[in-house]
Amino acid sequence: MPPGTADRPQMSVEDFEELNRRAPENLCNKLEFLDGRLLVKHGPIDVEDFEELARVAPETVTLDLLNGKLAVKPMSDGDHGSIIMWLIRQCMMQRPELALYPGQGLRIDTYRKGCIKPDGALTPIGYFAGQDEWASPDGVLMAVEVTSKDRDADRRDRQEKPRAYAYAGIPVYLLVDRDNDTVVVHSSPENGVYQSRRPYHYGATIRIPAPVTITLETERLKEYA
């Protein structure tokens, strides 16, 4: 892990103060900011309260609900955004009937009523049309996350999200792990666990299994390391 990564907070004091100011009345006294983390006093919140909080959050704050707990998704940096765009282009060229949608919310009721906004959700074109901010994950073929440089990346992207996506039955979870310069392909979800987990170093040729069925030549990722 790069020096200093573990010391970077989820969000700023200013963002917390703005979020707390906008929070629904039944939540404004339950939010607290401790050691750079957003917490809820007295345990988890329900999905309805979370959705209302996410709706009024400032543009600089993206929230997930993982295992009943709030999680803050850090703002993207230039390399993070470049990796997402590279993946979008790869999917478009190889599977033009599919689209990788960045930032589309998914409501995963099977995983303790989670609400997650992956960095990318690969589906048939038009799958999300007519759905609201938190859509069904049933048509998602692959969820994509690119780690951010913050202290909660390990818990959020390497532990909680694989479980949530596996519970939802999403066939593939692709993790671009910038702390370790690897791409990790999770596949074959069963009983809330991906039965296959294969890491590849940047530069490897990666064949992502069906139903995604694309090949990634990852030499380009070295430019964003």
What kind and span of H or E run contains 100? strand 98-101
pLDDT for the residue 153? 73
State the 10-residue block means of pLDDT for the chain, 225 residues long.
47 86 83 82 82 89 86 85 97 98 91 86 97 94 90 81 94 96 97 96 98 98 93
Nearest-angstrom CA–CA distance, 127 and 205: 29
pLDDT for the residue 8? 56
What kind and span of H or E run contains 141? none
The b/e string for 139-148 (b: 16+ C-beta within 10 A; e otherwise) is ebbbbbbbbb
3-state secondary structure of 3: coil
pLDDT in tens, 140-179: 999 999 998 776 777 788 989 999 999 999 999 999 999 9
Architecture of domain 78-224: Alpha-Beta Complex (3.90)
Tokens of 36: 């750079």
Tokens of 78: 């230039």
pLDDT for the residue 1? 40
Quote the pTM value: 0.86
Sorted by where each begins, the domain ranges of the chain are 5-73, 78-224
